[in-house]
Amino acid sequence: MTPAIETTSLTRRFGDFTAVDNVNLTVDSGQFFGFLGPNGAGKSTTIKMLTGLLAPTSGTIRILGADLTQNSAELKRQIGVVPEGMALFGRLTASEYLRFVGRMYGLDQATTAQRTEELLEFMNLAGEQKKLVTDFSHGMQKKLALAAAVIHGPKVLFLDEPFEGVDAIAAGTLKSMLQRMIARGATIFLTSHVLEIVERLCTHIGIIHRGQLVAQGSIEQLRAGVASSGAAPLTLEQIFLEIVGADRDGNLAATPPEQELSWLS
C-alpha cells in the first residue's frame, strides 16, 4: 500500500541552524497521525515542507506516492492545510473566503456555494454572514481555517495546532468530523501540544526533538519502547516526557535549578 506521506532524509537548514535533520517519516493512508515535539523542535517547519510552502534543503517528500516537488500543483489539489497563523484574508466575510478558496481549488460555483453553506452551518458560523474575518475571535478563525482546509475534500489533511483556542463544544464537533474523515479513507497529519487530544484521536505518533525524528509508531509501539516502572500503562504524556523531557545527562530539562528565578515571589 502506498504511504500517504513519506519523507526520505528530509533536512532543512537556516544558515548554520538545522531545523529539521534527516527525517525519514512514513504515514500510511488512513492513519490519524500525531506529530509531537517541544516548542521549536521543527514541527511547523516539517509541515511547511510537506505542504510545499517551504523548500527542503535536501531530501525528498512523497505525498500519495508522488514526488511533491515534481507534482506540486496536482498534490496541492489533494491536500488540505490549516497552516501556522491560519493565513486567512481578514477583509473578507467567512462566506466570501470559503467561496474564494473553493474556486481556487477548482470547484464549480454550485458546489462551492453548497459546501460553503454546509461548512458555515456545521462550524456554527452561519450567523456571522456580514462580519469580516478580522473581527472573528481566534476560535472562530480557527474553525474557518479548518473549513477552508476541507472544502475541496482533500485526501490528506495537515493541521497545525487545530484545537488551539477552540471552545470545548466546537472541539468536540471538529474531532468527530475528523474521525469521520478518517473512516472515509482520508489521512490526517496533526500537531498539537495537547497530548490528551492526540492520545484520544491519533493511532500513530511521530516525535521530533531538536529537528530529529526520535520516535515513530503506534502508541502501543511507543509504549513498549519506553520502560515503565509501574503496572499501569504509560500515558502519551509520560511517553513524551520520557523521550524528549530528559537532557543528555538524564535530567529532566523541565526541572529548574534551585537558584533559577529565585526572586519570584
Partner 1 sequence: MAQLDPRPDHPDSTPSADAIPASTQLLAIAWLRWRIFVNGLRRQAGSGKVGSLVLSIALRILIWPILALWVVGPALGSGIFAWMEVSGRHWSRLSVLFGGITLGWQFIAINGTGIAASASSFDPSTLLRFPLRFGRYLVLRLMLGFMTASTMVGCFALFAAAIGIAVAQPSLGPAAFVVLAIFAAMNIFLSRMIAIWVERWLSTRRAREIFTALMALVFVSFQFLNIHRPTGHRAHLSNGSWLLGFMQGTNHFLVWLPPGFATNCIVPLQHPLARLAQFAALLAWTALFLAIFAFRLHRQFLGEYLSEGAPRAVAVAAAPRTYPQPATPAAFNQQPATNNDQLFSPAIAACLRKEWLYIRGNTNQLIQMFTPLVFVFIFSRGILARHPTYLLSGALGYALLGLLGTLYNIFGADAAGVQLYLLAPVRLGDVILAKNIAGLALLLIETVLAWTVVMMLAGTPIPLSAQFSAAFWVVFVIFANLTLGTLRSIQAPRRILPGQTRQLRSTSTSQTTALIVLATLLGSVLLQVPVALLCGHFHNPWLAVWIFAPLAVAAVAAYALLLGHAEQLILTHRDTFAADLCGD
Give the nearer residue to partner 1 in terms of CB position, either 75 or 234: 75
Outline where DSSP puts E strands in 161-211.
187-191, 204-209
With CB under 8 A as the contact rule, the residue among 185, 224, 251, 254 that binds partner 1 is 185
| Residue entry with cell 520516535 | 215
65 binds partner 1 (CB under 8 A): no
Give the nearer residue to partner 1 in terms of CB position, either 27 or 119: 119
39 binds partner 1 (CB under 8 A): yes
DSSP secondary structure of 29-71: TT-EEEEE-STTSSHHHHHHHHTTSS--SEEEEEETTEETTTT
Give the nearer residue to partner 1 in terms of CB position, either 74 or 220: 74
Residue ranges in 244-263 that form contacts with partner 1 under rule CB under 8 A: 257, 259-260, 262-263
Size of site (CB under 8 A) for partner 1: 74
Per the CB < 8 A criterion, the answer to whether 74 and 66 are in contact is: yes
Residue ranges in 100-119 that form contacts with partner 1 under rule CB under 8 A: 100-101, 103-106, 118-119
200 binds partner 1 (CB under 8 A): no
Per the CB < 8 A criterion, the answer to whether 221 and 227 are in contact is: no
Per the CB < 8 A criterion, the answer to whether 94 and 133 are in contact is: yes
Residue ranges in 68-87 that form contacts with partner 1 under rule CB under 8 A: 69, 72-74, 76-78, 81, 83-87
With CB under 8 A as the contact rule, the residue among 1, 55, 168, 232 that binds partner 1 is 55
Exposure letters 202-215 (e unless 16+ CB within 10 A, then b): bebbbbbbebebeb
Residue ranges in 150-169 that form contacts with partner 1 under rule CB under 8 A: 150, 152-155, 169
45 binds partner 1 (CB under 8 A): yes
CA dist 155 and 88 (Å) reads 22
Q: Which positions from 203 to 242 touch partner 1 by CB under 8 A, shown as an x/- string?
A: -------x--------------------------------
Helix (H, G, I), strand (E, B) or coil at 212: strand
89 binds partner 1 (CB under 8 A): yes
Give the nearer residue to partner 1 in terms of CB position, either 41 or 219: 41
Helix (H, G, I), strand (E, B) or coil at 109: helix
121 binds partner 1 (CB under 8 A): yes
CA distances from 94 to 130, 136, 161, 178, 259 (A): 8, 9, 20, 21, 50
CA dist 224 and 119 (Å) reads 40
Give the nearer residue to partner 1 in terms of CB position, either 51 or 216: 51
Give the nearer residue to partner 1 in terms of CB position, either 150 or 236: 150
